[in-house]
Amino acid sequence: AQSVSQHNHHVILSEAASLELGCNYSYGGTVNLFWYVQYPGQHLQLLLKYFSGDPLVKGIKGFEAEFIKSKFSFNLRKPSVQWSDTAEYFCAVKTSSASKIIFGSGTRLSIRP
Amino acid sequence: DTGVSQDPRHKITKRGQNVTFRCDPISEHNRLYWYRQTLGQGPEFLTYFQNEAQLEKSRLLSDRFSAERPKGSFSTLEIQRTEQGDSAMYLCASTPSVTGARETQYFGPGTRLLVL
C-alpha cells in the first residue's frame, strides 16, 4: 500500500532561519505530489503541487519543493522563515491510478519571533 | 468561488446517537471527497463521489457510516450509533474532474466531532 512519511513531527526555528521539511513516499509508479498547510484555526490550504516537468516547484509565500524521483522524496524548503509560517505542514501523494490523496502525518512548525 | 463549506463546524454528541454532516463543494466541482483526521495525524480517505455516484469507499468506512450525494451537488455523511473512537475532524474536499488525473483537491474547514 502507498504511504507517506514525514520525518519530523515538530520543528522549532527562529525567524530568518532556513527550513527544510522531509517527505518520502512509497509508490513505484507515476505520482502527483502536494504540500498542504494548515494555519492555526484555518483549514487545509494548498501550498504547492507537482504533476510533471521541472522537479523544482515553487509555491505560495516563498515556499518551494524538489521532487527527487530516485529518492522518492519531495522535501519542502524556504530560505528564510517568518513568524507567520507557524502552522502544520502535510505532504501528500496521489497516484495516477487512484483518486484519493494519501497524507503524511504532518510536521508542526513553530517559529520563535 | 466561495470555497468548500461544511456544516456544522462543531458537533458534540453522546455515544450511541446518530449524527449527520453536510458538505457543499465548490460550484461545478463534480468530484467530492470525505476524509477523517484524528489528532496528530494527517487526513485519511473515507470515500468519494463523481457527481452522484459513490465510486470508492475506504475500509475505514464501517457499516455505521453512510455518505450520499443525491443530486451531485452537496453531500451528507451520517454516522449511526456513534462511538468514542469516531471523535475526529471530518473533512470534505472537492475538485473538478480533470483528464490525466491532474486534479487538485480543495478542502473545507471541517466538522469537528466529539463523542462523549
State CA B77 to chain mean position distance.
Answer: 6
Better-predicted residue by pLDDT, A28 or A14: A14
Low-confidence residues of chain B, pLDDT below 70? Answer: 1, 98-102
Give B13-31 pLDDT, tens digit per residue.
999 999 999 999 998 888 9
User: What does the pLDDT read at residue B101?
Assistant: 52
Judged by CB atoms closer than 8 Å, whether chains meet at B42 and A104 is answered as: yes
* Chain B contact present for A35, CB below 8 A: no
Q: How far is Cα B12 from Cα A52, in angstroms, rounded to an integer? A: 43
Q: Cis link prior to B8 (omega < 30° from 0)?
A: yes
Mean residue pLDDT across chain B: 92
Q: How far is Cα B87 from Cα B25, in angstroms, rounded to an integer? A: 23
Give A19-57 pLDDT, tens digit per residue.
999 999 998 888 899 999 999 988 899 999 999 899 999
Judged by CB atoms closer than 8 Å, whether chains meet at A100 and B48 is answered as: yes
**A contacts of B41 (beta carbons < 8 Å):** 105-106
Which set of grid coordinates corresponds to residue A97?
Answer: 491510478
Rounded to whole angstroms, the maximal C-alpha distance in chain A is 44
* Chain B contact present for A46, CB below 8 A: yes
3-class SS string, A45-113: EEEEEECCCCCEEECHHHCEEEEEHHHCEEEEEECCCCHHHCEEEEEEEEECCCCCCEECCCEEEEEEC
pLDDT greater than 90 at residue A77 = yes
DSSP state of B109: -
Question: Which of A10, A32, A43, A60 is most worth mutating to test chain B (most B CB atoms within 10 A of its CB)?
Answer: A43
